[in-house]
Amino acid sequence: MPLLNCILLAKHVCAPQNTTQSRFKMGRIGRKYYYKARLHIRCAAFFRENKLSARTLISRIFTSGLKVALPIFALFVGVSSYLTLKSNRPPPPKPQKHETVQPVRTKLIHLSSHQPALKLYGEIKTGRKLELRTLVAGKVLETGERFREGALVKKGDLLLRVDPFSYAGAVVEASANMVEARARLKENAVQAKAEETSIKYAVEQLRLAKRDLERAKKLMRKGSVTRQGGDQRALIVSQRRQALDTKRANLAILRAKAEQQAANIKSLKWRLQQAKRNQRDTQLKAPFSGYINEINANVGKLLNVNDRVAVLLDANWMEAVFTLSDRQYGRLLESSDSAAVGQRIKSSDSGAVGQGIKSSDSAAVGQGIKSSNSTAVGQRKTPKGGLIGRQIKVTWKLGATDLTYKAVVERIGAQISSESGGVTVYARLLNPSHPQPIRAGAFVDVKVPDRLYHKVARLPQTALYGRTKVYVVGPDKRLRERLVTRHAIDGEFVLVSGALADDERVVVTRMSVIGEGMKVQDLDVPLRPSTKTGSSGTLSDAKTRNENSWRPAKGSGGIRTPGAGRLGKQRGKSSGDRRSLSRVEHKNRG
């Protein structure tokens, strides 16, 4: 429409007209079409200056339209032709689908009796801890060579020595008092013996005096002796009797003094023993072999009675303390096969437990160890299927080195811990100094034999799907689903039972997609030679597949994925490709 208006306006302007009328007509257009009219006026002026006619303008416009319309028409024809050819094109042939064969690892099922081990964590603690305290007061004059923090001392080694001057003086004084008391006792004995002799003579004199008195009485009746002579003889008899009684009393007094002196000697003897003991206690010695800890004394320090000097930890009595959950503790108590589960200690192994603990130490050792049988820990009878007396393994990890110790469960905690919610168990190490002396406070791994399971299969954990399913390889190389029951976990393996049979091969390769009827290639079973390609089609490297049994890799959770992509693409090719496939697989496993 604008183009047509322009043509008509140009025709009107080119025609000879009055300029006044033309301006009047342009003014009637109105302000609304001001710019449009202005453009038309300019176009008219352009046409007038170039002397262009309406026919020439129309021809030029038509020529320009053809230049634009012809390419558009050609493009339209091309697109229409393409769409027509595309709609009439025959459908391409559908590619033939080939079933994908997954290479897997398998493990042969063998149903038997298995006993897993509970892997727990514990701490080493000493069974005997003693605070060394001074029994006498004084200044420390000397310390032992091994009286150092963490040093190992043997029984009887000198730890420290207090100044013994005053205690040696007390011994001398007590010894002198003892000598004096014994001398007095000896003097009393001599005096008593003299009195006894004097009494004998006094008795004899009394007897003679009585005989003289009797003779004087007979003479008095005859008148040969006066009455005064008879009274004198009677007085002599009385004096002899009085002297005898006095001597007997003196003898009794001497005997009483001897008894008093004997009692005094006993008291002085005890004081002498006490003085000697105090003098001996000035040397503090190790009561048993152990490690020195928390030293609080040194040369020159003034100690009072009962001051703590150090702490001694028994080196031959180490215990592994660990916690069992309620479920684990109940399962161990329910175990009925004590012969296989208990693993009781033989008498040849129990001799190492004593480690120098004599009968004098049996009171401190306690826990059912009598003085006559202090080196036979673990030999006492235990109830069938119980936890007491069970042999366990304790592993102390020192960097890349693992030190293993044998231990025996001796006792169970008196109460259940409210923090851990389990049962605390104490197991004594049979030989804490072999292969290396173990220290208290070390964190250890504890393996406790679990109950015995019969007719179960021990499979890698990667073989179990959904806690209740495993897949076995059938005769047609397809997977068969089996429902199983999980009983226990033994490290990287699991004990299951269910619809399984001996000599079946279960899939142990972990796959993201697995199901009933999936076709697989068992890499652990050597392939049979191909009959179609003759001797050239034999898998020469088939032995390589069977030599490396399945073994879970560390840090991968037991999952080992073979080169399934490469092997699947190589499936179904010629015998030469099979040989190259076998080499590729061997390289990937290597």
8: DSSP letter: H
478: DSSP letter: B
The verdict on whether omega for the bond into residue 435 sits within 30 degrees of 0, i.e. cis, is yes
- For 442, the 3-state DSSP assignment is coil
Structure tokens of 243?
């002297």
Question: Given a cut of 60, is residue 373 above it in pLDDT?
Answer: no
Q: Tell me how far apart the alpha carbons of residues 217 and 223 are, in angstroms, rounded to a whole number.
A: 10
Question: Given a cut of 50, is residue 372 above it in pLDDT?
Answer: no
Range of lowest pLDDT (29-33, 104-108, 502-506, 565-569) = 565-569
Q: Mean pLDDT for the chain?
A: 76
Residue 77 backbone dihedrals phi, psi, to 5 degrees:
-65, -40
Give residue for tokens 């697109």: 79
Q: Tell me how far apart the alpha carbons of residues 498 and 471 are, in angstroms, rounded to a whole number.
A: 12
Half-sphere exposure of 277 (CA within 13 A, CB side): 8
Per-residue model confidence (pLDDT) at position 47: 67
Per-residue model confidence (pLDDT) at position 51: 61
Range of lowest pLDDT (60-69, 211-220, 368-377, 483-492) = 368-377
pLDDT in tens, 534-565: 333 333 343 334 334 444 434 334 334 333 33
Q: Tell me how far apart the alpha carbons of residues 26 and 39 are, in angstroms, rounded to a whole number.
A: 12
| Secondary structure element (H or E) that encloses residue 197, with its range | helix 165-222
- What CATH architecture does domain 454-589 belong to? Beta Barrel (2.40)
Residue 332 backbone dihedrals phi, psi, to 5 degrees:
-70, -35
What residue spans define the domains of the chain?
2-88, 165-281, 313-448, 454-589
- For 282, the 3-state DSSP assignment is coil
